[in-house]
Amino acid sequence: MRDGTPLWVQVAEPRLRLSPWVLGALGLQAVALAALCWWAVRQVTRPLTQLARAVDGLQPDQRAAPLPEAGPREVAQAAAAFNQMRQRIDAHGAERLQMLAAISHDLQTPITRMRLRAELLADPALRDKLQADLGQMQHLVAQGLAYARTDQAPHEPEARMLGNLVDNALKFGGAAELVLNAAPGAVELQVLDRGPGIPPDELARVLQPFYRIEGSRNRSTGGTGLGLAIVQQLAPACRAQLSLAPRPGGGLVASLRWGDAPAAVTPHAGQTRWPDTGS
């Protein structure tokens, strides 16, 4: 002041006061923004998730609906390329089966003529050996034709699958044991034998057409390497899953599962067991 009296001015820190409804509105906006971001990310990544599942579940012997070619341009292009690749795989598999069916069908007539001519041989020992070779050849051709026709969905595929599994058990184990395990919404049918079994590293390979482990390449078994492959081919059409596992104590367990049955259902009161049937 002019008279020398000091003047004190106290300035308080400015405070922003917001009403509760403003804070609530800001909170709702934040929640809505987070939800919108989550939805946008899901929309972008959903085609990628579908593509990943389709790639993971791709099987040459199973038909599936094409992927929707939607989403971002790059994702749509990837889905289109995947659909084209699957179409080429299906076409290649169909062509392979048609060729196998044609060859197997055309071989049946000359084999039959050769068997008739073999009957004219004077040497009984030579005649029997030739007939055995031709019989084995004709069996192989018949199995090849049966495998090629599995894509046409037989009238009773379940009976065909069970018959092949039992025949495989009798052929290599001399006896077959059938166990039926039932659970809510699931059924598992097991065919067990006490044969030489299959090494763990061969379990996946024996499901391939014409693949045989070395122990089955002899006249006593007469295996063609198509019995299990036919079951594997028919299983998807029946909504079943085929699995092979070593049997404790020796042998093989072949399982057909429908529904949500686990890989090895524990036997319980719903189990039905048949005695062994020898060959």
CA distances (Å), origin 61, targets 58, 91, 204, 271: 9, 11, 15, 32
- The CATH code belonging to domain 25-54+64-152 is 1.10.287
Q: At what angle do helices 20-56 and 73-118 cross, to 10 degrees?
A: 20
Residue pair 174/249 in contact by the 8 Å Cβ criterion: no
> What are the tens digits of pLDDT across the range 184-218?
888 999 999 998 888 888 888 888 887 877 655 44
Looking up tokens 């990310």, which residue turns up?
Answer: 41
On average, the pLDDT of the chain sits at 77
pLDDT value at 268 more than 70: no
State mean pLDDT over 240-255.
92
In this prediction, residue 257 carries a pLDDT of 92
Cβ atoms 233, 170 nearer than 8 A: no
- Using one digit for the tens of pLDDT, what is the confidence trace for 64-99? 677 777 777 777 888 888 888 888 887 877 777 777
CA separation for the pair 188, 179 (Å, rounded): 8
154 φ, ψ (degrees, to nearest 5): -60, 165
Q: Give the lowest-confidence range in 26-30, 161-165, 188-192, 217-221.
A: 217-221
Domain ranges of the chain: 25-54+64-152, 156-279
- Asked if the domains at 25-54+64-152 and 156-279 fall in one CATH topology, the answer is no
Secondary-structure class of domain 156-279 per CATH:
alpha beta
